[in-house]
Chains A and B, each alone.
Chain A
Amino acid sequence: MPASTVTPEEAFYNRRRFLRKLGLGLAGSALLPQGLAGATAGFPAKLNPKFDGAGLKSTDFDYVTSYNNFYEFSTDKGEVKKLANEGWETEPWSIQIGGLVENPFKIDVNGLIKKVGGVEERIYRFRCVEAWSMVVPWDGFPLKKLIELAQPDKNARYIKFTTFLDPKSAPGQRGRNIDWPYVESLTIEEANNDLAILATGVYGKPLPNQNGAPIRLVVPWKYGFKSIKSIVKIEFTRNRPRNTWQLLAPQEYGFYANVNPEVDHPRWSQASERIIGGGFFARQPTLPFNGYEKEVAHLYKGLNLRLHY
């Protein structure tokens, strides 16, 4: 889609923000509960029966939205919710798609949701590299749909995702311990897998800021850090982009980061996981590819997953 068609929408949102800054548009924003100001299009979303999380018990909304790794705000998971809701604006939000594609474009998130035909609900396991896990009902759309819109050329082999950069609103980004902004990447094959989605909501509500509003990646067979939050840019590349955690600690975090109970982290075992919200002792064995072996194992045929962790 040509960039010109999205301009009116952006202008519309910019005007809304301008009005809000003047204190005129407050009525609308005041209706949204704290932290729920992300992409608002596509609700209510219907559950996709193929990904209904049969047999899984969703983690309470409170835990999902109060226990967040989002180093842009704080390394303390309990502080993120507060800090991500102190003036960080996630609306309007536009996202830029480019690199090795036939059709580069920039689009407002709500416009993008309409363009891909709305969102659906999917219940996924979520396994953090820190050996804890949740079950999250996400609302989103297949990443594949965005790839179709962009039409990558035949040289594109990887997709690089970039998070927002705004040290004024994100106190964690004022520290120099990490080379901001956060970046992540997938192979095109991974990105085209049915399981990979761009999420814009949880529990039928727009993504709270602390969960990566207004749009984030969710790749449930990989450790959580691959599921990059608050995306502003998606680029198709020929060479493999390095991801933030790999740059920070290559001996601990790799490119693939597939959930794998057999490969320990240097400081802890990945064989089992603590279940968030289950008290002191709730624990379960970790499954290969986080339980999505059937769906994704073929992507890694012949790859030594011990070396390519």
Chain B
Amino acid sequence: MRFLIKLLIWTVVLLAGLYPAYPLIRAEASVLADPAKYLLEYYGKTATLLFIGVLSLSPFKILFPKFELARDLNRHRRLIGVSSFFFALIHLGFYLVYTGGFTAFFEDIEKPFVLLGLSAFFLLLILAVTSTNRMVRMLGGKKWKWLHRLAYVAAILILFHQALQEKAGAVQTVYFFAPLAVLQIMRMGRLFTAKHKST
């Protein structure tokens, strides 16, 4: 079962990563017109969706303990989280192509929108690097847990990064983040009532 779940996650991640090959090979004019922009946007979105997915798993598990798939997926948070980082890295790579190289990149860095993305990226990098078993052991469970709360900071940075680039109302950002927000609020509500019951 564990293996099947892992296979499922790998399949989803690989398919998501390779999907753009399809319109590129079919030479769809709207994709070939400005391929760097297309891929930049595509990998920004997939990175974000995977990240939202990871952060949704543990509240989901707590709120719906009978839902086995969530519990199984939850054991592979690391794999999903690192995939999200990897897509963010590809996103950054295509950003360099899209904006015209490093010189342009360094000139753009002061723009709040880019700075938000970059800060989120560095947090994702820290999370990915400290996600190995060795790192968990080195840091100790408590410190590691604390450090990995940075994921919530990253989520907020990504939210603003995505919202700021939307041109007419942050419609897509709301679609992306609303489920996560609802789950987190429900979990907090659960914690709150549990606390009050026990005192």
Give residues in A with beta carbon < 8 Å to B.
Answer: 60, 62-63, 66-67, 71, 75, 77-78, 81, 130, 132, 175, 177-178, 248-249, 264, 266-269, 271-272, 274, 276-277, 279-281, 283
Contact = CB atoms under 8 A, between A and B. Distances in A.
Interface string B2-37: 000000000000000000000000001111111111
Nearest to A66: B29
Interface of B: 28-37, 97-100, 104, 107-108, 111-114, 164-165, 167-169, 171
20 contacts: A60-B29, A62-B29, A63-B29, A63-B32, A66-B28, A66-B30, A67-B33, A67-B34, A75-B167, A75-B168, A78-B31, A248-B168, A249-B167, A268-B99, A269-B104, A271-B104, A272-B100, A274-B37, A277-B33, A281-B97
B42 to A, nearest CB: 11
Nearest to A80: B30
Say what secondary structure dominates the interface of chain A.
loop
Contacts of B37: 130, 132, 274
* Residue with the highest number of chain A CB atoms closer than 10 Å, among B36, B98, B168: B168
A130 B34 CA distance: 11
A7 B36 CA distance: 50
A17 B98 CA distance: 45
A63 B33 contact: yes
Contact of B111 (A66, A67, A266, A283): A266
Nearest to B97: A280
Contacts of B171: 175, 177
A248 B170 CA distance: 12
B34 A267 contact: no
Contacts of B167: 75, 248-249
B169 A177 contact: yes
Given A269-B104, A272-B104, A281-B97, A71 B33 contact: no
B119 to A, nearest CB: 15
A78 B28 contact: yes
B33 A267 contact: no
A277 B31 CA distance: 9
Contacts, number: 70
Given A274-B36, A283-B100, A267 B28 contact: no
B34 A276 contact: yes
Contact of A279 (B35, B100, B104, B169): B35
B77 to A, nearest CB: 31
A38 to B, nearest CB: 20
Contacts of A66: 28-30, 33
A274 B168 contact: no
Nearest to A279: B35
A264 B28 CA distance: 30
Contact of B114 (A60, A248, A249, A267): A267
Nearest to B33: A67
Closest 7 CB pairs of A and B: A78-B30, A177-B169, A66-B29, A67-B33, A177-B168, A62-B29, A267-B113
Contact of B30 (A67, A132, A281): A67
Contacts of A67: 29-30, 33-34
A41 to B, nearest CB: 28
B108 A268 contact: yes
Given A66-B28, A269-B99, 17 more contacts: A66-B30, A67-B29, A67-B33, A78-B31, A130-B37, A177-B169, A178-B168, A267-B111, A267-B114, A267-B164, A268-B111, A269-B107, A274-B34, A274-B36, A276-B34, A277-B32, A277-B33
A130 B33 CA distance: 13
A249 B164 CA distance: 11
Contacts of A266: 111-113
A132 B100 CA distance: 12
Contacts of B113: 266-267
A211 B168 CA distance: 20
A271 B108 CA distance: 11
Contacts of B99: 268-269
A264 B108 CA distance: 9
* Residue with the highest number of chain A CB atoms closer than 10 Å, among B28, B99, B167: B167
A177 B173 CA distance: 13
Contacts of B165: 267
Contacts of A280: 35-36, 97
